[in-house]
Structure 1
Amino acid sequence: MYGLEIFPVEGGKPYRLTRDTQILCYLTSYQIGPEDWPHYRQPKKTRSKVIHEAMGYEAFAIPRVASVYMAVNDYAYFQGITHIRMEGPVLRYEYVYDNVQVQDPQMAKRANMVVDIYGIPLPDSTKPTYGVEWYGAFQGFRSAITRNTQMTYCVFRQKIHLEGGRYWSLPTTLPHLDKCVMFYHATNPQAEVSYLAHKKQLYSSAQTDIYVCVFVSGMVLTPKRRWGLSLYSEDGTLVFNTDYLPFTRGKSMELLLREGSVETPYSLPLVCATSQFVNASYQDDPIDWAKRNTGIRFRGKQIFVSERIRDAHRQHHVEQRIPFYVLNGSLYF
């Protein structure tokens, strides 16, 4: 196997950049706030946005927060985006909307949905590009690190233990905590694990070990070793160094709640935590209650998710295709 082997300073599993590896560079983040939401009578309104930073790249949209459950006055509003995709430099997505007349202390008072845009530089025959470029075994497979790219790096990878009904918080010492993108995988197939994005917490319904991998863009690189490979931008900024694990291309997937599960191509799938729901039940009075249950379960290559919201007073369900971005966990653990 030909390529570049990286031995990160944190001492974890070495990482191999081979002809089958594509590194993604960070381009920008797009936020969707309450002022952007469509009217409730238009629950599936398609929107698009030109991402100028994506021009000149093969671009990928990775949702960081794809659904929110937010308290407004006497109601709890659910907002979600689905069918998230890049078509050239254009980001496209659809809204899903609903509300229930129940609140609880875990809700965010105001929340934005966030989509991060990543890309691979496209060849430019009009000017020279300095950096590292390699082509894969398959036609059209290409990856590049240039002196103008902004990389995303792993700042935390660890297997943690979480008891049932308990929470685990991201370490506050991590750089750029507000921009962290978390991926996880639970080893207990009975444990449903969900994420509170506004509190940076994982919740599990049962005892389990969880593989956690956290990535950050825009961090200042401070190599600790004198050997390795480094790339610098035109202004002298270090943009790549083999002391750090880079963010690689995974696979975008969607799961319709009533279908129950989806199979990934990876034996250890790491799922991006994109929901602000809690896997728990709350009751307001004997006849008016709601259950939010977006805990994700793992069994082999499969991912399972049950219902999103159930309002027992009105007996209805919110239908949505939940977007996932899945990484190959065997590359990191």
Structure 2
Amino acid sequence: MVSLKAVRASNASLRTLSNITALFVGGTSGIGQSTLRHLARYADSPTAYIVGRSQARASPFLAELRSLNPKGRFQFIEADVSLVRNVDFACRQILDQVEHLNFLFMTPGGISLGGRNETREGIDYLFSLRYYARMRFLQNLLPLLTTAASSGPSRVVSVYGGGFEFAINRDDLDLKHTFSLLNAYKHSITMTTESMEHLAHYHPSISFIHAYPGLVGTNIYNNSFPWPIASFYNVAMWPFHSVSLQESGERHLFHLSSAQYPAKQQPAGAIQGVSVQPEVKDVATGTTGEPGSGVYLLNWKGEVRSSPQILKEYREQGVPELVWKHTEDLLDEAARR
């Protein structure tokens, strides 16, 4: 376990990184909000874009961020990212305004107790939030991430279920014909890691983290269910929370910025992140079993999760390439609808 003391020491050193630009998708509540709050507290003068569904709901938080860091630049982009066209809209605004992107942090999602619920683009709503929308942000912003890697850190963190990868149905990746909540859970997790492995191969100067956050006291139930059902889950799940929302934000900022999780290939002179703390000693082991291999599965403590055997088998069978090709084709088709 990376101690909270080491996490806080690392985060406090964020001021040594200059000209940091970040994008938070799902940054107005829960883990994303807490992580962004700590970025504003620790970084010198960051530029942060926050994508969320409501400008009005985000306004008090934006005011808080500007109070925490008057030198920082915090810009909200209103978009329902369950739709690919809205992801493209948000990305165009960022591409038009910045030349590099150091940190891409993604947490959109929710909970459902029902069946497949397609958006008008033909993708299941929660499957889109947990996987497809996140990959569209990544696909669109690869040029900015690559530019950032020439001199500073370039990292992608997707918060969901890293380390819980399962076998998936390669003949029905988007679950048009075999949808269930369990299958959607499995596919979202495994396809995220498979896509990250593919992208790390072709973009080795970018570091990728698929994190499992543990049970955190967020407002996910309030955002997913009507009041009576949400209240029941809030009470029922409270004893099982493994980490507070504040600590989760501190730890995810560490995941986002520590040099413990470097890219596979480090350009000469480029800074991989905040220097590794003395108690940590070594860089993390990636999904291939090699230290510093560029793709990392982490638990809420910052520990590397054991890479499931299925990932090795899929790597040998070319599944990362299959998954990414499917993802690109489906996203492009959805954007044309």
More helix by share: 2
TMscore range, shorter length: under 0.3
- Rg comparison, structure with higher value: 1
Instruction: Give the structure-1-normalised TM-score.
Output: 0.26
Between structures 1 and 2, the one with greater strand share = 1
Q: Structure 2 length as normaliser, TM-score?
A: 0.26
